[in-house]
Chain A
């Protein structure tokens, strides 16, 4: 099936092959003792290989969260052959395998490269996977396809000789719709595509966001950057960071610290000065190359159909479970007669974001049959079939039911973002997965979850915030208190265009305590909400007091 996604040409493929050969040599030198672990570590990190709690973990890039079905099948294949039959989708639209052996890593990278997959720069102090709106190319509200620009950035940032040893990691997100599904403001660079008053396409450039120890929302350092100057401007930002970012303290090394320290205005001034001195024509992509990339994201042969789909409507009327699935997981597509179908990886009792090899193969099959072979990964750790004809949605639902992926809970209380936490991660202070499962269990009854409505719960097992707890309507941070797991609650965060950082509610609670607390918070919300208010809205209207009281008034804190 012809793909309407960027496909690697001979040059892109050669890059992967050369990278595999390079890494093979580096692994051989490490095993022979010619490289110390200290010298080898950044090299393996730049190939996505972490040493974790139980084994090596490999983080495979899914550029701008977009996969062709053969690629999803290849990931299933790697999971089976080299791991334990499953993978974990992450908050950066990547996938992680938790049981990898270093000695297999070069072979795994070679296998991945056969389907244009790689683990390039998914870790290390370099530019990481560029994320984008998972509904790109399918949503009516975008001004352009953000993946065109994400692909341009991917190529520019890959093996960039000047920016591969930055003070710290660097994350970029690109969005093109008024509704931000990428948490752009929480990134080192967030790029919002928009047309200015003259109708010209440009980026609002936000720099200096980040979570972790010190969360920041990125200030806008440039309101409108004409799109053709994207790369030269990024070079100016990265060069300013490379030169002036702190290198004395790992906890102060992100660009957010530099921006906060200089102030957005001064930082912007330095970037603009560097940009003014740049030979832009040498860095910016020529129109021919932009056209080539854009052309690769060509439109699928959609067959628009106006009016209702009898198959779709009949199924909705006949099957309440399907109707619920449509209500929560299915969204309107920009082409009449099609739909965007979300596939929840948050089934009751399962690990959030985990997907078995069999499930991956089944989703690939569904994509081939019903979504032009395309699958997306969202930062909420779910999947998307972006282009499903309405007529086909009942069949897709049935197919998902057969593999346990039909949970109708997108954006509901049981659609929880959770990092792997202490069960897998050597950085963690506490487990996150069990907490997510317990909370989700309290809202397992679909009627209850729907009655509560949109509630984004995000759980991190440590201050590094891979679970995005700073951006949760309810955020939960696992901490280590005298060797025991405790959990700190925060409320009121949002990763969307109305971005806000969650605020700590009170003293940390035990595991069972925090699960109870979430129910009390929901009860407090249900008892006070006005018509149409989500949890976040009620919190923003009333403030923390009623919620604090609900949790702590008669609770037994740690």
Chain B
């Protein structure tokens, strides 16, 4: 069963955010994990909040050490921050979460990203 997390960017500040029980959080370790299609209603709700977030989409994740780690490499970079600046972005704010994401096993194509491209 695929596990997914809903992500978006905050409209006002552009920050990467994750959906957690009706609110938007900064770190993926706090995000709600949806199994199968369960993320669809949250996605619809996010799309209906155009003054809160932009470009919401679902990403595939695989749990690792208690953190829903994105399967796609791109989504990992998005959850971490620029890899050449470990002092910037979410990786600097939550070192434990960053370490789990960095060490997690292999990556594959992200369905979330493919959906984004199709929408364009």
Contact = CB atoms under 8 A, between A and B. Distances in A.
Answer yes or no: A and B touching, Cβ < 8 Å. yes
Interface of A: 30-33, 36-37, 51-56, 84, 98-103, 250, 351, 422-424, 428-429, 431, 433-434, 437, 480, 482-485
Contacts of A437: 84
Contact of A31 (B12, B81, B110): B12
B50 interface: yes
Contact of B12 (A32, A102, A424): A102
Contacts of B51: 30-33
B4 to A, nearest CB: 16
B14 to A, nearest CB: 4
Contacts of A351: 84
B120 interface: yes
A51 B110 contact: no
B73 A483 contact: yes
B107 A422 contact: no
24 contacts: A30-B51, A32-B51, A33-B50, A51-B9, A51-B55, A52-B14, A53-B78, A54-B15, A55-B9, A55-B15, A56-B14, A98-B82, A99-B88, A102-B11, A102-B12, A423-B85, A429-B74, A433-B82, A434-B83, A483-B72, A483-B108, A484-B73, A484-B107, A485-B73
Given A54-B82, A484-B107, A37 B50 contact: yes
Interface of B: 9, 11-16, 50-51, 54-55, 71-74, 77-78, 81-85, 88-89, 106-110, 120
A480 to B, nearest CB: 7
A485 to B, nearest CB: 7
A55 B110 contact: no
Which one of A32, A36, A480, A483 has the greatest number of beta carbons of chain B within 10 Å?
A483
B43 to A, nearest CB: 15
Contacts of B74: 53, 422, 428-429, 480
Contacts of A484: 73, 107
Contacts, number: 84
A222 to B, nearest CB: 35
A483 B106 CA distance: 9
Contacts of A102: 11-14
Given A54-B78, A431-B83, A480 B109 contact: yes
Contacts of A429: 74
B58 to A, nearest CB: 16
A51 B120 CA distance: 14
Given A53-B74, A101-B13, A423-B82, 11 more contacts: A31-B51, A51-B9, A54-B16, A100-B14, A101-B14, A102-B13, A103-B13, A422-B73, A429-B74, A483-B71, A483-B108
A432 to B, nearest CB: 10
A56 B12 CA distance: 9
A136 to B, nearest CB: 33
A355 to B, nearest CB: 14
B82 A37 contact: no
